[in-house]
Amino acid sequence: MVKIAAALLIALASAAVAAPQRVVSMNLCTDQLAMLIAAPGQLVSVSWLAADPSVSVMADKAADFPLNHGAAEELFLDAPDLVLAGTYSTGPATDMLRRLGIRVETLPPANSVSDIRHGITDMGALLDQPERAARVLAQFDADLAAIRPGQARLAATYAANGFTTGPESLSGDAMSRAGLVLLADRLGLAGGQIALEQLVMAAPELLVTGSRYSTPSRAESVLDHPAFTAIPTTRRTVPDRDWICGLPAIAGTIADLSE
Amino acid sequence: MRIEISDLTVKRGGRLTLDHASLSLEPGELIGLIGPNGAGKTTLMRAMLGLIPASGLSSLAALPPAKRALIAAWLPQEREAAWPISVENLIRLGRIPHRRPDADAAHIEAALSRMGLQSLRHRAVTELSGGERARTLIARALAQDTPVLMADEPIAGLDPAYQIATMQLFRDLADEGRTVIASLHDLGLAARHCTRLVLMDQGRIVADGKPVDVLTPDNLAHTFGIEGHFAQTKEGPVFQPLRVLS
Amino acid sequence: MRLLLSLSVLCLLLMLASILIGPAGAGIGESIRALWTGDDALGLVMREIRLPRAVLGAAVGASLGLSGAAMQGYLRNPLAEPGLIGVSASAALGAVIALQTGLATALALALPLSALTGAVIAVGLILLLAGPGGGSLGLILAGVAISAFAGALTSLVLNLSPNPFAAGEIVFWMMGSLADRSWLHVAIAAPIMAAGAALLWGSGRGLDALTLGEDGAASMGINLRALRLRVVLGVAAMVGAATAVAGAIGFVGLVVPHLLRGAVGGRPGRLLAASALGGAALVLAADIAVRVVMPGRDLKLGVVMALIGAPVFLQLIWRQRRGL
């Protein structure tokens, strides 16, 4: 599926007459990939989320760009020759832009390290910057090769609403590459909600939690539950931004988890 | 129990609905409160009880509510019974002021039999006919076992037999030494059963005395705008309204 | 008395079932032993997850059942239910405001107290608009308006929250859930609920007398103003505390008094204790159903209650449609 999509994208990209000159990105993940690969001046605007340090690993860099809020009107006024969007983001806005005759390309979210590798290549093709993409990819591969997986420990992520990651996700793949055994895998689950008492009974050796927000929510209150805090285990925090989007920076996260 | 009211006055929206009413009621009296619609009969009784704010004096309203409830029972005109509770349980509500609602079975039995409700005791009040419900509510007031009983149009909507029976019951209660006050529209029954009539018009008490002294052609013409026939028979006083005066 | 006894036994059985049912799937004997002695994972599950959930379920159910019975007794209308007439929604608004302003973080009791404040305003408005005359039209219309307004404001506050999870939580605040509630929640809610119960407990005599109408009750020495204050504060405290920790669970206060009214001979005073026990049993049963029917999906308690309650509500409306 990913390969077909990639082939399609590349075919579409090569159909374009020349390298796009005014690229606007309206999705957190395409924002960050584009910032990594685009030539100076090629990227005109990124989404406001890219500048939010709680979800973006490149918030500093995004501060150099004008920020958009993903509305068709403001994007159109930037007069882009290419708009980058996520597959599942802002349907009406991208539909509107296409109606207005603007080229909109979407990239699927990355669910694994190999998706990230494809994403880098695809982004290079869309921006017509294959050499820059190849350089990013080579560095990523080198970083991945340097990782020494740790001992096999039972591990689980636990997040708001009792969500835990399964193997078919970027965080799951990253944890497996760090040598960890996913609790969801052990329980035969695809990930998703898992009851707190199941987690307590399973007693994972490593519990990975994510970012917390300063204002409370009912969904996150499970992370303050006395039974959760009483589980005897090693606890690690991986900020959500590290694996929301498929970026080469995941190599650093994997290396941390393997220790 | 003697009840005194003097200069009792109720203002509603700048209008006097009760205008300086003064009365003295003695034990043994059955007082019929008569007058056209809007004359202030209900207002007078509610003000006497202290259920609505009023200026002037009422010996009943001056009592603390819990004490007053042991002295006067009140039968409102709206025959309300909100829930499908049984006749017996509704009558039991009359024992609430006595703070031992379940203790006085004797009073409940007496009220049931006095109103002829024994066969209905387990029926839900919401299933009763209008007349049965009216009798049940009277029984409730009887169960309160007070020296004073005040009733707002207690016989409206009852069939003739129960109208007469109810008036006779009130008279019996009065003869037992209680004070009974009832507002009435049926002047014939009022004339026949009441020991005393109080005639009201536009918030004022305009006549007070024996039926024969109150149901005079003058009073009838001025307050009701009607003409009637009053006679003393060997059955007692009889009154029949005849025609509307134009 | 026999009724109260059998309802109590039912509650105890349901509580036991609630403690024994869960995804961890341990044996009955093992689970009960772990409740007293277990220092291991199962002990943790039993004492810190299942027991508080069962206790909270019973307390929330009792609060909602009792409040429903008290409101109906006072308004003399079987349709008066905290969830339907906006009291729960207003309590949820109060709770959400306390959470999002950080008040609840600074002082744990601020959460139920703020919910109580929301509920007081709603109950006050209902009494003002509907009154104890027993009319359904004013009651339902006032309830619709208050529900809609409180729901909209709750959405607004949640949407303004910088926390993306909070922004999506209107479902919880409108549907309620007991999932993953801990002793902390019990400790926050219990004192307020107890105060509310004490207030409502004393209202039985007055509610009985109100069967005869306002005038009839007043003539029997009932202080209507004091009774109203009791009902307003009592209902607000119970619904406020329940909503603050479990969200707005509707229909409990409608279904339970409706089912038990016949058994207590329609007497509003006797209905209070029976409805408290019945409410506890119903919410415990619904919370068990939530876990058994769709394990692991956090099916909202309010969904189950609405499935049970809405038909009862419609039937009541049908029956009184002439009075509306």
Pairing mode, strands A206-209 and A163-164: unpaired
- Residue range A196-209: mean pLDDT, rounded: 90
Pairing mode, strands A82-86 and A23-25: parallel
A149 within some domain: no
Name the residue among C198, C263, C257, C267 with its Cα closest to residue C233.
C198
Distance from CA of A33 to the nearest CA of C (A): 24
Q: Are B205 and B46 in contact (CB under 8 A)?
A: no
Q: What are B58-65's contacts with CB under 8 Å, separation 24+?
A: B58/B3, B58/B4, B58/B5, B58/B8, B59/B2, B59/B3, B59/B4, B59/B5, B60/B3, B60/B5, B60/B148, B65/C218, B65/C221, B65/C222, B65/C223
Q: Are A126 and A84 in contact (CB under 8 A)?
A: yes
Q: Note whether A101 and A20 are same-domain residues.
A: yes
The count of structural domains within chain C is 1
Backbone phi, psi, residue A220, to 5°? -85, -10
Question: Where in the sequence is the domain holding A174, given as residue range(s)?
Answer: 154-258
- Residue range C200-205: mean pLDDT, rounded: 92
Cβ contacts of A9 within 8 Å, gap of 6 or more: A105, A107, A122, A125, A126
Torsion of CA C259, C264, C268, C274, to 10 degrees: -70
CA A2 to CA C307: how far, in whole Å?
43
pLDDT of residue C177: 87
Q: Which two structure tokens, joined as six digits, stand for A61?
A: 């860099």
pLDDT of residue C39: 75
Q: Note whether A28 and A127 are same-domain residues.
A: yes
Q: Which of B68, B74, B86 sits opposite C216 (nearest CB)?
A: B74
CA B157 to CA B127: how far, in whole Å?
17
**B72-75: strand order across its sheet:** B72-75, B148-152, B179-183, B30-34, B196-201, B204-209
In angstroms, the Cα distances linking C44 to C24, C34, C57, C129 are 11, 8, 19, 49
Number of alpha helices (DSSP H) and beta strands (DSSP E) in chain C: 17, 0
- Given CB atoms, is C211 within the 8 Å cutoff of chain B? yes
Distance from CA of C178 to the nearest CA of B (A): 34
DSSP label of C264 = G
Q: Is the torsion defined by CA of B110, B114, B118, B124 positive or negative?
A: negative
Beta-carbon neighbour count of residue C188 at 10 Å?
20
Q: Which residues of C touch B124 (CB under 8 A)?
A: 266
Q: Note whether A180 and A136 are same-domain residues.
A: no
Is the pLDDT at C208 greater than 80? The verdict is yes
pLDDT (tens, 9 = 90+) of chain B, 246 residues, equals 789 999 999 998 888 999 999 999 999 999 999 999 999 999 999 999 999 999 999 999 999 999 999 999 999 998 888 889 999 999 999 999 987 656 678 899 999 999 989 999 999 998 898 889 999 999 999 999 999 999 999 998 889 998 999 999 999 999 999 999 999 999 999 999 999 999 999 999 999 999 999 999 999 999 999 999 999 999 889 999 999 987
Q: Per-residue pLDDT tens for C253-296?
A: 999 999 999 899 889 999 999 999 999 999 999 999 988 887 76
Q: Note whether A54 and A134 are same-domain residues.
A: yes
Q: Are A140 and A202 in contact (CB under 8 A)?
A: no
**Most confident stretch, B79-83, C105-109, C236-240:** C236-240
A76 within some domain: yes
Task: Report all structural domains of chain B as residue ranges with CATH numbers, in order of start.
Answer: 1-49+146-245 (3.40.50.300), 72-145 (no CATH)
Is the pLDDT at A241 greater than 50? The verdict is yes
- Given CB atoms, is C9 within the 8 Å cutoff of chain B? no
Q: Are C139 and C79 in contact (CB under 8 A)?
A: yes
- Given CB atoms, is B36 within the 8 Å cutoff of chain C? no
Judged by DSSP in three states, A164 sits in: strand
3-class secondary structure per residue, C71-132: HHHHHCCCCCCCCCCCHHHHHHHHHHHHHHCCHHHHCCCHHHHHHHHHHHHHHHHHHHHCHH
Q: Which two structure tokens, joined as six digits, stand for A122?
A: 């695809």
C312 falls in which pLDDT band (50, 70, 90)? confident
C31 falls in which pLDDT band (50, 70, 90)? confident
Residue identified by tokens 């003409």 is: B227
Q: Which of C19, C31, C44 to mutate to test the interface with A (most CBs of A within 10 A)?
A: C44
- Identity of residue A150: G
Percent of chain A with pLDDT over 90: 46
Q: Which two structure tokens, joined as six digits, stand for B99?
A: 């703070």
pLDDT of residue C24: 75
Q: Note whether A190 and A251 are same-domain residues.
A: yes
Backbone phi, psi, residue B80, to 5°? -90, 140
Q: Note whether A163 and A219 are same-domain residues.
A: yes
- Residue range A236-255: mean pLDDT, rounded: 90
pLDDT of residue A11: 52
CA C205 to CA B130: how far, in whole Å?
26
In angstroms, the Cα distances linking A179 to A110, A142, A186, B135, C54 are 20, 18, 14, 87, 39
Q: Is the torsion defined by CA of C124, C130, C132, C136 positive or negative?
A: negative
Neighbours of chain B (3+ CB pairs under 8 A): C
CATH number at residue C109: 1.10.3470.10
Q: Taking an 8 Å Cβ-Cβ cutoff, which residues of chain A contact chain C?
A: 160-162, 193-198, 200-201, 203, 213-222, 225-227, 230-231
- Given CB atoms, is B49 within the 8 Å cutoff of chain C? yes
Is the pLDDT at A1 greater than 60? The verdict is no
Pairing mode, strands A206-209 and A234-237: parallel
Residue identified by tokens 């405001």 is: C97
Q: Which of A144, A178, A196 is the last residue of a domain?
A: A144
A167 within some domain: yes
pLDDT of residue C324: 45
Question: For residue C322, with 0-12 CB atoms within 10 Å meaning exposed, 13-18 middle and 19 or more buried, which class applies?
Answer: exposed
Asked if the Cβ–Cβ distance from C180 to A217 is below 8 Å, we say no
Q: Note whether A137 and A221 are same-domain residues.
A: no
Is the pLDDT at A4 greater than 80? The verdict is no
pLDDT of residue B140: 94
Q: Note whether A210 and A239 are same-domain residues.
A: yes
Q: Is the torsion defined by CA of B46, B52, B54, B56 positive or negative?
A: positive
Q: Which two structure tokens, joined as six digits, stand for C83?
A: 């969830």
Q: Which two structure tokens, joined as six digits, stand for C276?
A: 């408290």
The count of structural domains within chain A is 2
Q: Which two structure tokens, joined as six digits, stand for C282?
A: 């119903």
Distance from CA of C47 to the nearest CA of B (A): 43
CA A7 to CA C45: how far, in whole Å?
51
CA A156 to CA A180: how far, in whole Å?
9
Instruction: Return the bridge partners of B229, or none.
Output: B240
Q: Note whether A64 and A138 are same-domain residues.
A: yes
Q: Which of A114, A144, A174 is the last residue of a domain?
A: A144
Name the residue among A147, A184, A149 with its Cα closest to residue A167.
A184
- Given CB atoms, is B81 within the 8 Å cutoff of chain C? yes
Backbone phi, psi, residue B137, to 5°? -70, -35
CA B80 to CA C212: how far, in whole Å?
5
Q: Note whether A210 and A117 are same-domain residues.
A: no
Lowest-pLDDT range of A223-227, C165-169, C195-199: C165-169
Q: Are B211 and B190 in contact (CB under 8 A)?
A: yes
pLDDT of residue C27: 80
Question: Where in the sequence is the domain holding C234, given as residue range(s)?
Answer: 2-323
Q: How many CB pairs under 8 A join A and C?
A: 93
Question: For residue C129, with 0-12 CB atoms within 10 Å meaning exposed, 13-18 middle and 19 or more buried, which class applies?
Answer: middle
Distance from CA of C234 to the nearest CA of A (A): 26
A105 within some domain: yes
Return the residue of C nearest to B50 by Cα.
Answer: C219
Q: Which of A161, A195, A216 sits opposite C99 (nearest CB)?
A: A216
pLDDT of residue B13: 84
Cβ contacts of C225 within 8 Å, gap of 6 or more: none
A247 within some domain: yes
Percent of chain A with pLDDT over 70: 93
A51 within some domain: yes
Name the residue among C4, C2, C1 with its Cα closest to residue C274.
C4
Q: Which residues of C touch B93 (CB under 8 A)?
A: 208-209, 211-212, 220
The Cα diameter of chain B in Å comes to 57
Judged by DSSP in three states, B80 sits in: coil
Cβ contacts of A215 within 8 Å, gap of 6 or more: C99, C100, C102, C161, C162, C163, C166
Q: Which of A116, A144, A172 is the last residue of a domain?
A: A144
pLDDT of residue C322: 55
Cα-to-chain-centroid distance, residue C2? 24
Q: Note whether A121 and A200 are same-domain residues.
A: no
Distance from CA of A221 to the nearest CA of C (A): 8
CATH number at residue A92: 3.40.50.1980
Q: Which of C76, C222, C265 sits opposite B82 (nearest CB)?
A: C76
Q: Per-residue pLDDT tens for A44-65?
A: 999 999 999 888 999 999 989 9
Q: Per-residue pLDDT tens for A80-90?
A: 999 999 887 66
Side-chain-side CA neighbours of residue C85 (13 Å)? 34
pLDDT of residue A10: 54
